[in-house]
Structure 1
């Protein structure tokens, strides 16, 4: 079957496939601390690099049952003793780059995935089997750590606690510090104990700075007309590349039929995504599914050509002012980048 539309795809994925996919995305396949470029106007960026280097070096010193094996009793107020490190900051400051650099610097068995990929792994294999498979990992990196429902809160907290107890170290990124997860999204008061128990395992590093993608592109996603969409698709296919073309509304409806953990298979092998007649969304579930898909398209560095409403305006004002504000703004940033010429240099995340 020749792939011409994303709505042709309804992929399935096994737990084993999910586990095998837990490595940094292609654009961070060679990320290192050395090629991260700190913005001199924001000292916290260099401080984060230094802290992550120290965290990585600490793993090499691990001995016996202690996390760092420094031959002294662990102090509660000693941040070096915590088994996790948490990168908090705005979108586009290089958090994912640094997380991938830490992964590359680590030795032993190591995993790298988004929050949704780990929850999908539990969904596919069950909690006990997931713990069994992940136990023994030296480092688990969790990108885009955002808790959108209380069930995920409790599950991920339990998973981290169980694996920390067996010696695994964690690193995570998010736009929200760990003691604030869930604020504005659900009744967090019922889950404060779980949230704080999880955050106690992490040293939080705040990374300030400007959004790299917005510095490198205009403030609006590039938009064309139907003829421009058709021309881009025809040119890609003439060059032997795989280009999909979908009506935006039909595509968004189709996303509801595919679990977000499978979106990575929807973009596999695709070279260009074309969307006709983009409209602004007013349904939050549709919007969150689009965010999850754009994350996978961004990881795959897939260019998007679109007509209708600019993709940067696809989320309505109530969404942009609600509890998922940071998630939507990050997605807008990524859609601006994907509809424009790819930026060069610096630290996209």
Structure 2
């Protein structure tokens, strides 16, 4: 399949969202409403019905999980130590370093990675993609909050963190889909068709919202740190995942491609929200969201050429 035929429809939706919002046709309030529908209704329906239909026995692959998460944790550690020694003195604390590490390793798996993989590899890989996504936010957010808590007066609350993760619409919909799959639950034709109708706009809306959100961020004064974080995120991380998947574990070519494309996704907007919550590196991560998204077009093109 030609690379342009994979990338163009996705970039078209992102560009459309950016252009219409930048032109003022959609306001931030409008996008907030579309985002709420997308992330709390349409994407959960999409994830649930696909997880319900996925072959669980083929989806659970511990080597795939290791091939993805070992490089993720390694790049997180690299980002943490780079910030400790290379950032301005005022931003070298544990909390700031944890946020920078998150910005160097957190992938936009749902908005970008999933559409790219479906376009390039088809829906056969969805079950394994969901298994990766399920632990993604929990792993990196836990690392960030635990390390940040060491540099702040208040401690880390496992209860609050666990509750927020379990109530996350992505984690909840995948978890319920796995449970329903394991129980071989039959929803009935009417409910199946209703959920399928809700799920249809999920990926298009996600890409549109991504583009719209990019219009609200700018590449600010911390562009050098943003460039470092983007390089770790879309160059080093997928390269390490490729080595782990292909060389170390010898995974099948499609599995390797799936893991690399997920890891090559740009920084997710949720990382910026964590930075805003912790009040550390907000400008850096906002810039990294924009910069890594723009550069990911080149990264995806390269990996698609090599792997597909």
Question: TM-score scaled by structure 1?
Answer: 0.22
Structure showing greater radius of gyration is 1
The structure whose residues are more often strand, as a share, is 1
The structure whose residues are more often helix, as a share, is 2
Question: TM-score scaled by structure 2?
Answer: 0.24
Q: Which of structures 1 and 2 has the larger relative contact order (alpha carbons within 8 angstroms, sep 6+)? A: 2
